[in-house]
Amino acid sequence: MGGSVDVVTDVEISNSPKGSAIPNELAVAPGPVFPKPTFSLGLTQEEPKKGETSSVVITEESRGKVVNEDCTGVEVPDPPGPFLPCRKSKRQKVVPKALVGDYRCEKTFLSRAWEAHVASKTSDDSIGLAAKFSQLIDMLKSHFAFTVNGVRISSKDMTVMLENSSHLPPKVVDLLIHHTRALYNSDTEKFAKNQSVFLDTKFVSQFSKTYVRFSKVVNKDSFMFPASLLESFNAACTNLDPSRYYFPFNLDKSHWVGGCVDATSCHLVVLDCNTSIRTDRMMCNELQPFAVMFPYLLRKAGKHISMKDMKALAFDRPRTVPQNHNQFQSAVTTVLLIQAHAFGGLEVCKLIHPNVVEGEVERVAVNIVERYHGII
């Protein structure tokens, strides 16, 4: 009457009493209606260029499958009727499922989402962090050292991590793993339902050496694990019944990947930031000791595993993990992927894009020095 037209949705039609008539001018044309993207969040949905194809990546985390569905050439009709006034969203400011795979996100949006999941627990605001990092650079010009988990870390080791000009030594990777463990365990109440264990390179080395003897034993149930290996494993398990076990794995002393043994789904998930180095079959062979022997270690240590027969763990190498071909960054990227997966699963791993790695390394360096050496 006053110039406005009410839009009757399909739900309202289906719920209307039998016999009630719907005016023809208010009926909604059949067919899917897709809302326009929210550009205010820093997202863009550009027209694909010639020769390019667009795809939607859907990850079924429960099964570890990745499905690619080509959506090129699909025309989206305009919604019927006028648009309603824009209202402020009350949703949490985090990245929803598969968002990064579907849209081209700006760097600032990725950074805000990553901070909302993990980084906000560990540092001050960006201005304060920049000031502290500048002071840390001055500190690194003079020699100092501190001890973490029985390992001496010098200012030179911190410089190597920040310079990004060489491969990180195992003790620096262990420093990052130990720091990740401390962050995760500092909020045990929040993650009580999904407790994670973080194993270091020393454990991985000892575990791999043990597999040589394990593979020669016919009756695997009778195999006796070294007491030192069990002691190291139990020391890392701060919870009596963890569900995920993370570890860094080095390939030919030049590339690092992150492994996750999921004792609930009986999967071995590989977080690889450069899948061009190894094929799936080659990677499966590299990590065979963990796929075959780790279930027996869990049973021997009295930990839970959702399998009655000791079969090898199913291999899973998600393709949604962002790729970073800078091999000097593979170690820190791997630890960031492990941290992201422990805090929020594969969805948060999508945020570890190469353009945020350098900034996160600076943040981690400041937090480590403040935690183990003193306030900057």
pLDDT at 127: 77
Q: Which of 12-26, 115-129, 160-174 has the lowest mean pLDDT?
A: 12-26
Burial of 165 (0-12, 13-18, 19+ CB in 10 A): exposed
Cα–Cα distance for residue pair 147/22, rounded to 1 Å: 76
What is the arithmetic mean of pLDDT over 39-54? 44
In sequence order, which ranges of 36-125 are alpha helices (DSSP H)? Answer: 99-102, 107-117
Tens of pLDDT, residue by residue over 165-196, are 899 999 999 999 999 998 888 765 555 555 89
- Binned at pLDDT 50, 70 and 90, residue 19 comes out as very low
Q: Tell me the pLDDT of the chain averaged across its residues.
A: 76
Cα–Cα distance for residue pair 262/171, rounded to 1 Å: 25
What is the arithmetic mean of pLDDT over 238-259? 92
Tens of pLDDT, residue by residue over 56-111, are 333 334 334 443 344 343 344 444 445 444 454 444 444 444 444 434 444 454 44
Tens of pLDDT, residue by residue over 261-275, are 999 999 999 999 999
Residues 6 or more apart whose CB falls under 8 angstroms from that of 365 comprise 133, 136, 158, 161, 162
Return the CATH class of domain 107-372: alpha beta
Distances (CA, A) of 152 to 9, 144, 171, 203, 368: 66, 10, 9, 18, 13
Helices (H) then strands (E): counts for the chain: 13, 11
- The answer to whether residues 317 and 267 touch, using CB atoms and an 8 Å cutoff, is no
pLDDT at 363: 92
